[in-house]
């Protein structure tokens, strides 16, 4: 058995929540960080069938690709609201962790695996962007050495400490803090009215602007002092970029029909939706797992001959068809994502020795392809 917080830290290391899109809802969504976890199960979606499977298997942690909690949740009532299974999950003592776009973006994540499955050996981001909205802040706080670990963990859990593909980043330096508490104060160290000198850590960590308020709030809640001394310094973001989707070259030009059959076999799908030229040979290929919005335009701009995705909207498919230069293939939203589950389960299993990690057998695409 492992503490849930320890498993969460490993999952965050595999795909840092700070990499997720701003509109997404990733990370630990339900559960007690102090609870014990002996068995975890990966799934794309949390459905009734998956929940029943998890209960029967004695699962403690469900790692869902799609967040089961999406919209604002004002009440948790069995069978009601936008997350109708949430009550049952919590009542069963299970925790829920979601990865979604953080796993799409991270190196070695869903899109890299999808590109490699198609035959792209060294995929590159299709739509690069700088994470943290182009700006970071540095939070500097002074804390007694005995409390440094607790305060830093609270800041990391709230979204601090992520730099590019690294997380839990901080700098710590020893020093001496001085103060004298006035009338009515209750110092965590020493006595009111007396000049005190305290061994402290200077703790620094990087925080994306969008998570600054949450990190400061978490830091203050975990800090032992009545009055917390801290600084927030604006920084230009480090020059690290990732992005949604991937593109690259096949080892050799391949007939469209051959590539489609390879995709069907690799992703275990019976049929695909094909848009644009259905014949000829292709060399430069792009992929975008799930529903990738306008990424097909990035594929066109990169000079790609072929674009593999989960689904396209009707007007997007029409645009590809009318341009007539790129072949696009849709395999179904979750069918384009599911290949990542056994890979992530293996990585978690290797990082958490003794933890029983499995992939749901009841999780499947809601569409039947015939």
Q: Are residues 92 and 13 in the same domain?
A: yes
Q: Are residues 114 and 262 in the same domain?
A: yes
Number of folded domains in the chain?
3
In-domain check, residue 366: no
- pLDDT given at position 140: 94
Q: Are residues 37 and 123 in the same domain?
A: no
Tens-of-pLDDT digits for all 370 residues of the chain? 899 999 998 998 899 887 888 889 999 999 999 999 999 999 999 999 999 999 999 999 999 999 999 877 878 888 777 778 899 999 999 999 999 999 999 989 999 999 999 999 889 999 877 554 445 788 999 998 889 999 999 999 998 998 767 788 999 888 887 878 787 787 777 778 788 788 888 999 988 766 888 899 999 999 998 888 899 887 644 445 678 999 999 999 999 999 999 999 999 999 999 999 888 999 999 999 999 878 999 999 999 999 999 999 999 999 999 998 899 999 999 999 999 999 999 999 999 999 999 999 999 999 887 7
CATH code assigned at 142: 3.30.70.120
Helices within 158-275 (DSSP H only):
212-222, 256-267
Q: Are residues 82 and 231 in the same domain?
A: no
Which of 221, 236, 251 delimits the end of a domain? 236
Which of 190, 208, 236 delimits the end of a domain? 236
In-domain check, residue 365: no
- pLDDT given at position 238: 47
In-domain check, residue 85: yes
In-domain check, residue 105: no
In-domain check, residue 104: no
In-domain check, residue 367: no
Q: For residue 29, give its domain range.
A: 2-99+339-359
In-domain check, residue 299: yes
Q: Are residues 208 and 162 in the same domain?
A: yes
Q: Are residues 29 and 88 in the same domain?
A: yes
Q: Are residues 219 and 277 in the same domain?
A: no
Q: Are residues 122 and 264 in the same domain?
A: yes
Which of 177, 203, 236 delimits the end of a domain? 236
Residues 263-316: pLDDT tens digits? 999 999 999 999 998 889 999 999 999 998 789 999 999 999 999 999 999 999
Q: Are residues 91 and 226 in the same domain?
A: no
Residues 41-80: pLDDT tens digits? 999 999 999 999 999 999 999 999 999 998 778 788 887 7
- pLDDT given at position 150: 93
CATH code assigned at 314: 3.40.1390.30
Number of other CB atoms surrounding residue 336 within 10 Å: 29
Helices within 58-186 (DSSP H only):
86-91, 100-105, 110-118, 148-157
Question: Running DSSP on this structure, what letter comes out for residue 120?
Answer: B
How far is it, in rounded angstroms, from Cα 168 to Cα 151? 12
In-domain check, residue 17: yes
Q: Are residues 55 and 182 in the same domain?
A: no
Q: Are residues 139 and 191 in the same domain?
A: yes
Q: Are residues 255 and 230 in the same domain?
A: no
How far is it, in rounded angstroms, from Cα 207 to Cα 186? 30
- pLDDT given at position 196: 78
The 10 Å CB-count burial string (b at 16+, else e) for 183-206 is eeeebebeeeeeeeebebbbbbbb
Taking CA atoms, 245 is separated from 67, 163, 293, 298, in Å, by: 20, 20, 11, 9
How far is it, in rounded angstroms, from Cα 98 to Cα 100? 6
């Amino acid at each position: 058995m492992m503490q849930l917080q320890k498993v969460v830290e490993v999952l965050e290391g595999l795909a840092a929540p700070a990499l997720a899109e701003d509109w997404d809802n990733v990370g630990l969504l339900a559960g007690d960080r102090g609870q014990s976890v002996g068995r975890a199960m990966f799934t794309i979606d949390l459905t009734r069938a998956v929940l029943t499977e998890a209960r029967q298997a004695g699962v403690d942690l469900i790692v869902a690709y799609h967040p089961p909690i999406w919209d604002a949740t004002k009440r948790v009532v069995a069978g009601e609201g936008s997350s109708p299974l949430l009550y049952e999950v919590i009542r069963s003592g299970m925790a829920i962790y979601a990865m979604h776009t953080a796993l799409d973006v991270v190196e070695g994540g869903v899109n890299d695996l999808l590109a490699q499955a198609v035959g792209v050996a060294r995929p590159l981001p299709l739509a690069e962007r700088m994470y943290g909205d182009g700006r970071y802040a540095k939070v500097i706080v002074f804390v007694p050495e005995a409390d440094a670990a607790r305060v830093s963990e609270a800041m990391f859990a709230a979204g601090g400490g992520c730099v590019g593909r690294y997380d839990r980043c901080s700098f710590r330096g020893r020093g001496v803090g001085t103060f004298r508490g006035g009338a009515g104060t209750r110092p965590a160290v020493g006595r009111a009215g007396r000049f005190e000198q305290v061994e402290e850590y200077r703790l620094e960590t990087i925080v994306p602007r969008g998570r600054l308020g949450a990190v400061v709030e978490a830091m203050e809640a975990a800090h032992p002092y009545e009055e917390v001394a801290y600084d927030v310094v604006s920084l230009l973001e480090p020059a690290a970029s990732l992005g949604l989707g991937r593109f690259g070259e096949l080892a050799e030009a391949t007939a469209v029909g051959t590539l489609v059959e390879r995709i069907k076999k690799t992703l275990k799908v019976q049929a695909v939706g094909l848009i644009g030229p259905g014949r000829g040979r292709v060399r430069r290929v792009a992929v975008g797992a799930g529903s990738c919005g306008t990424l097909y335009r990035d594929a066109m701009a990169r000079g790609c001959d072929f674009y593999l995705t989960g689904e396209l909207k009707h007007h997007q498919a029409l645009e590809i068809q009318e341009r007539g230069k790129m072949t696009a293939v849709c395999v179904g939203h979750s069918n384009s994502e599911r290949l990542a589950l056994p890979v992530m389960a293996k990585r978690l299993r290797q990082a958490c020795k003794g933890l029983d990690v499995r992939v749901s057998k009841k999780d499947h695409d809601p569409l039947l392809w015939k």
